Structure formats: structure tokens, C-alpha cells
Amino acid sequence: MLQVVQRPPRRRDRPPRPATRRPIEVGRYYDPQTGQFLTIDPLVDESRASYTYAGDEPVDAIDPNGTKWFFQRAYDAVTSGRDEASFWTGVANGGLLLIQSTGASGVGQQAPPPVQISNSYSCPNNGFYQAGQLVGGLLGGYLLGGGPFAAAEEGSLGASMNAATGGAADAIPGIETPFGVAEQSLDSAALSARVDVQSGAELWRIGTMGQSKAGEAQFWSLESPTTPGFAARYGIPPANVTNADFIESGTLKPGAPFVTRSAPAVGASPGGGIEVVVNPGDVQLTGFSAG
Amino acid sequence: MARDYYAEARELARDARAAELPALGSRIDAVIADGFTASEILMGLRATLRDELPELEPFPELEARAASLLGAIDAALAS
């Protein structure tokens, strides 16, 4: 049944924010004239606010993805990389969370959290979530974004939005493959795995001699293919594992670009294994075994 | 349970061979057999289907199945 939700009247007590109607999240459009979203909150059950923008704080807060909002000050601190002693941020349900940064290393602590934001909280299809991960674990976002995010322009929602997307999703370019461009997955598991890859985690691959690519291969796994359940986690036919006659491993060459992807589910295989896609030759082989 | 893209693709490959379109069948089988991750296989299938879809125009039923599979793979890779 079609449900009609009446939008609240336009707020006249606050100036409109200089935003566009650019959708940068999961399909929600922001109307700068009313300071509200034009489309319903996909997390309305959690937020209990169908169209409210940024906790109904359109001047002091931003909501880059339409599902989680932050006070501008908190966002600015995160995106500029400043080592602020503490700042407040809001979450979609209106709760407040005190974040304390403890040093230039970016190691963060939450204290005391009236509302928990989990590192594993998933908010796919938006770039800002990496900054959101910063809130839950300050170090991660900087690494995931390839460096501190661009500073948001004070008081400009549009600039903040651009910084959010530019500093996160757009900062991770896709990898060209013979089958097209492999894009970075934006789920939390794939994003977190970027830190492991950059830290020298071992990459694996198997194949068939004379048929499969070896050192020039572009698709790698973050776990050994000999691990039980590998085929199901990586969404490949079991025969691809049992028929393989070589196994190789290596590490990403320093500074080489890459993307991480959560393997899609296929049939009964749940997927979810972390794939690492690199340019040809960007894995420094450390092991090779045939037979 | 997710859609079984590989089973559908293999069936399409078999029917393509029966329709005397051996190239499509061979490419599909090779992509599935050589892939090391789901993304590698699905991206390979997507590229193959995009390339070969025009060849299926004389076979509306095959063309429709290929287009449906292509759309599903696109969605799987985007999620």
C-alpha cells in the first residue's frame, strides 16, 4: 500500500545551506530550500525521522550519506586531520558520541560513548563512511583514504560533501583489468582489509600451469586457497581449487594501487572473502609451488 | 541463496553451442574455469556477454536469457 508521508513545513528560522541536489549516498536528495531530504530515510526505523536532515540541525551539522549525521565541527576535525582533543558528533538516532583523539598517530578512543558506533557498522555506497569509520576508529579512515581527507570548507555543505566523496570513495581509483575496471568495495570488511594489504599481508592465488596467469595475475585472495571453505567464501566453483596445480603467494609492491572487494555470493556460496585486485606485476612473489 | 550465475552461464553456453554459436560457449566455459575469485569470473562473464550479445539477436530466447544474466551480474558486482 502506498503510504503518503507529509513533509514538515519549511524551516524559516535558519538560513538555507548552499547545497545542491546531488545524490551522494543511497539515492537521497537534499533540498537546500527546506533543509530537508526529499526522499525518505532508508534507515527510518532506526532514525524515526523520515526526511529530517542532519538531526534537524542543518546549520551546525552535515549528513553526507543521508543515514548518519555529524556536527560540522566533528566532520571538519576528521576531514582536516587535525588532532583535536575532543569533539562531538551525532548519529542518526539523535544520540551524541564524544570522540577523543590521543595523538598525531591518529589512534582514537571513544569516551564515554552514550551511543556506540561500531567499526563493523556497514553503510555501503557512500564515500563518507570511511570518515564514519574514523569516528569509530580514527586511524582506519586516514589509511583507507590514502591520507588525510581534504579539509572541508567551513560552513559550506557542498564543499563538505565534495570533500567527503573526494576524500574517500573517489580517492581509491579502480583497477583496469581485461574485463573492465574493478572498483573498490565500500563495505566495512573490504575497506578494513586495505590496511592489511598496505601493511604487507600475504596475497594468494592458485591456477593451472600453462593456462592461468601467475605473476601477472590481477585477482588475488587474502587467505590461502588451501583453507577449508575457500571456494565458498570466494564464490568460485570448488573444481577451480581442486584442479589447480600451482599455488603462489606474495605481497603488494610498496605504493602500488589496488582495490579490495568482498567476493559476491554465487548460488549456495556465500562469498564475502576479500579479493585484492592489482595491476599486472604489482605483487612481489614470495612463494611458488607447483604440482 | 544468491542467483547461480555460473549454472545459468553454463546452460547458456551449452544452448549457444547448439545454436552454432561456439565462440560464446567457449568463452563462458573458459572464464568460469580460469577465474580465481567471484569478481574475476563475474567480470569475465559480464565482458563476454556484452561482447557476444549482438550475436544472439537472431535467437530471441537466448538473447533474453543473456540480457537477464548480464543485468544480474552487473548488480552483483555493484553491490
- Give the best residue of B8, B37, B42 to mutate against chain A (max A CB count within 10 A): B37
Alpha-carbon dihedral sign for residues A71, A77, A78, A83: negative
The residues of chain B scoring below 50 in pLDDT are none
Name all contacts of A146-149 with Cβ < 8 Å and 24+ positions apart: A146/A171, A146/A172, A147/A171, A148/A79, A148/A80, A148/A81, A149/A78, A149/A79, A149/A80, A149/A81
| Residue A100: strand pairing partners | A86, A109
Kindly state the DSSP code that residue A269 receives in the 8-state scheme: B
- pLDDT value at residue A135: 33
The residues of chain A scoring below 50 in pLDDT are 1-27, 81-170
- pLDDT value at residue A63: 61
- pLDDT value at residue A211: 77
* Beta strands per DSSP E along A175-262: 175-177, 180-182, 203-207, 219-221, 246-252, 258-262
- Residue A257: helix, strand or coil by DSSP? coil
Within 13 Å and on the Cβ side, how many CA atoms surround B2? 24
The model's pTM:
0.59
Q: Do A237 and B32 touch (CB under 8 A)?
A: yes
Alpha helices in chain A (DSSP H): 44-47, 72-80, 129-136, 138-144, 157-167, 188-198, 230-233, 238-242
Of A179, A175, A141, residue with least CA distance to A279: A175
- pLDDT value at residue A41: 64
Q: Do A234 and B33 touch (CB under 8 A)?
A: no
Q: Do B79 and A273 touch (CB under 8 A)?
A: no
A interface with B, Cβ–Cβ below 8 Å: 124, 177-180, 182, 205-208, 211-212, 217-221, 225, 234-237, 239-240, 243, 261, 263-269, 271, 273, 275, 277
**Total domain count, chain B:** 1
Task: Tell me which residue has cell 556497514.
Answer: A122
- Amino acid code (one letter) for A208: T
Q: Do A178 and B5 touch (CB under 8 A)?
A: no
Q: Find the CB nearest A236 among B36, B46, B79.
A: B36
Q: Find the CB nearest A264 among B33, B42, B44.
A: B42
Backbone φ/ψ region at A286: left (φ over 0), alpha (ψ -120 to 50), beta: alpha
Q: Cα A130 to the chain's mean position, in Å?
A: 5
CA nearest to B33 within chain A: A240
B12 in contact with A, Cβ within 8 Å: no
